[in-house]
């Protein structure tokens, strides 16, 4: 069960509790030619390379928000707290907002869907309404798990049918975002991986754990096909979307981005094993139905809009996973547990 956004932000935007005395709901836009970008979930797998790109580009002024890993140049903001979010938006005065903060682990989502809904649905709806009221165009990161995997590849306007609570929550977030403003956009992506301090941050890099912690065969699923996306590649594409987002000229409301290389977990495991010094033959096909939250067998996203815009940049998986694992090695995250 989740509450409607009007009980979180809605007309409460104009109250002194939410904004402070004598502050207008329509905060002034940044008047320079620089685009001011606010990023939620800025400490995450995609948020880190995105913020780094924005900070290195003179066309943008970036502010990132995080919660559990805030600090340094990141503002500590609980996006489920309307007063804190509105105060942050008033201070930053963004032209656009990239909404990355989410519970993105299907199995964790299934353990406590009510708590996950507060972040993925309620906070997203409220943020979309708040941004629309301030004339700030928002792009919301969604997932290929809004589809059931029976008719791949999927175009942006194809029928959705999520199989798990995570996909259901993301679909509800999409609907809230597009209802709040005709200038908001949704960007669906597949599973992510990238540079990190630990293997467990991604469901791709975590496959290395079993090869490090034992010497025997590692059973890995071969029933489901995945299209893992390298986070820095997605960050480049998002930066490319921002001028159009700020102008309200992007096609949409739904956009897709995905690499084209298909892998089962066993396929990925063989490559990862070789990169961590293990014998790739230890990756053994597991034909049993996967456990945990149900997942579609194959969801490839067709990306006609971003392809036409020249924004599909794909680093080959073998190279990208090598760089990702090397970053984890440098952080001391490749030691056996």
Question: Tell me: the pLDDT tens digits for 262-278?
Answer: 999 999 999 999 999 99
Rounded to two decimals, what is the model's pTM? 0.89
| Cα gap 226→237, rounded to integer Å | 20
What SS3 class is residue 74? strand
pLDDT number for residue 72: 79
pLDDT number for residue 18: 33
pLDDT number for residue 252: 93
CATH of domain 5-192+228-256: 3.40.50.720
| Cα gap 170→151, rounded to integer Å | 19
pLDDT number for residue 21: 34
| Cα gap 245→310, rounded to integer Å | 16
pLDDT number for residue 32: 53
- The pair of structure tokens assigned to 89 is 């938006």
Domain residue ranges of the chain, discontinuous segments joined by + = 5-192+228-256
- List average pLDDT for each run of 10 residues in the chain, which is 337 residues long: 39 32 37 86 97 96 90 90 92 98 95 96 96 97 98 97 98 98 98 97 97 96 97 98 97 97 98 98 95 95 97 96 98 88
Quick one: CA torsion of 222, 152, 119, 139, rounded to 10 degrees? 130
In sequence order, what are the beta bridge partners of 97?
38, 138
Q: How many CA atoms lie within 13 A of 90 on its CB side?
A: 18
Average model confidence (pLDDT) for the chain? 90
CB 41 within 8 Å of CB 102: yes
* DSSP code at position 183: T
């Amino acid at each position: 069960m989740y509450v409607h956004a009007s009980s979180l932000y809605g007309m409460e935007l104009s109250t002194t509790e939410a904004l402070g005395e004598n502050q207008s709901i329509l905060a002034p836009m940044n008047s320079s030619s620089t685009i001011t970008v606010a990023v939620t979930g800025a400490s995450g797998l995609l948020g880190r390379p995105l913020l780094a790109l924005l900070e290195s580009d003179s066309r943008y002024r970036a502010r990132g928000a995080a919660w559990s890993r805030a600090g340094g140049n990141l503002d500590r903001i609980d996006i489920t707290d309307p007063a804190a979010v509105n105060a942050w938006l008033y201070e930053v005065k963004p032209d656009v907002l990239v909404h990355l903060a989410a519970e993105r682990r299907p199995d964790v989502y299934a353990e406590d869907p009510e708590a996950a809904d507060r972040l993925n649905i309620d906070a997203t709806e409220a943020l979309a309404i708040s941004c629309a009221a301030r004339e700030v165009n928002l792009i919301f990161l969604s997932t290929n798990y809004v589809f059931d995997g029976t008719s791949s590849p999927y175009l942006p306007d194809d029928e959705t049918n999520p199989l798990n609570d995570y996909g259901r929550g993301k679909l509800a977030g999409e609907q809230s975002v597009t209802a709040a403003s005709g200038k908001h956009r949704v960007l669906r992506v597949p599973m992510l991986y990238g540079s990190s301090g630990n293997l467990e941050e991604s469901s791709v890099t975590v496959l290395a754990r079993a090869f490090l912690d034992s010497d025997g065969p590692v059973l890995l699923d071969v029933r489901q096909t995945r299209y893992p996306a390298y986070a820095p590649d997605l960050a480049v594409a998002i930066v490319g979307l921002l001028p159009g987002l700020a102008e309200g000229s992007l096609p949409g409301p739904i956009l897709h981005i995905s690499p084209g290389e298909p892998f089962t977990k066993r396929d990925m495991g063989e490559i990862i094993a070789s990169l961590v010094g293990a014998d790739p033959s230890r990756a053994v096909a597991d034909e049993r139905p996967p456990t945990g939250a149900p997942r579609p067998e194959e969801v490839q996203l067709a990306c006609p809009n971003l392809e036409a815009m020249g924004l599909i940049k794909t680093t080959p998986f073998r190279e990208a996973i090598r760089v990702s694992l090397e970053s984890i090695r440098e952080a001391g995250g490749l030691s056996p547990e």
